[in-house]
Amino acid sequence: MTQRGFGPWPRIYRPAEAGRRQCVQLAVLPWDALDTRAWGDAAELHPADLAHGPSA
């Protein structure tokens, strides 16, 4: 993790390889944060489907 700690959008990094590093970014949301006015039916999705994002 970064030295800034664990906030609402933390990033977790892998050790650098060949001068490049990879990370995953998390969204830490409060309960009922996916308001239907902005997110549509996102609150009804399975967590894995929500994390995957919209389909093409």
What is the residue-level pLDDT of the chain in tens, covering all 56 positions?
556 666 667 788 888 888 888 888 877 777 777 788 888 888 888 888 877 766 54
The confidence score (pLDDT) of residue 9 equals 74
Concatenated DSSP letters of 5-20: -S-SS-EEEPPPBTTB
Burial-class residue 56 by CB neighbours within 10 Å (0-12, 13-18, 19+). exposed
Which pLDDT does position 56 carry in this prediction?
44
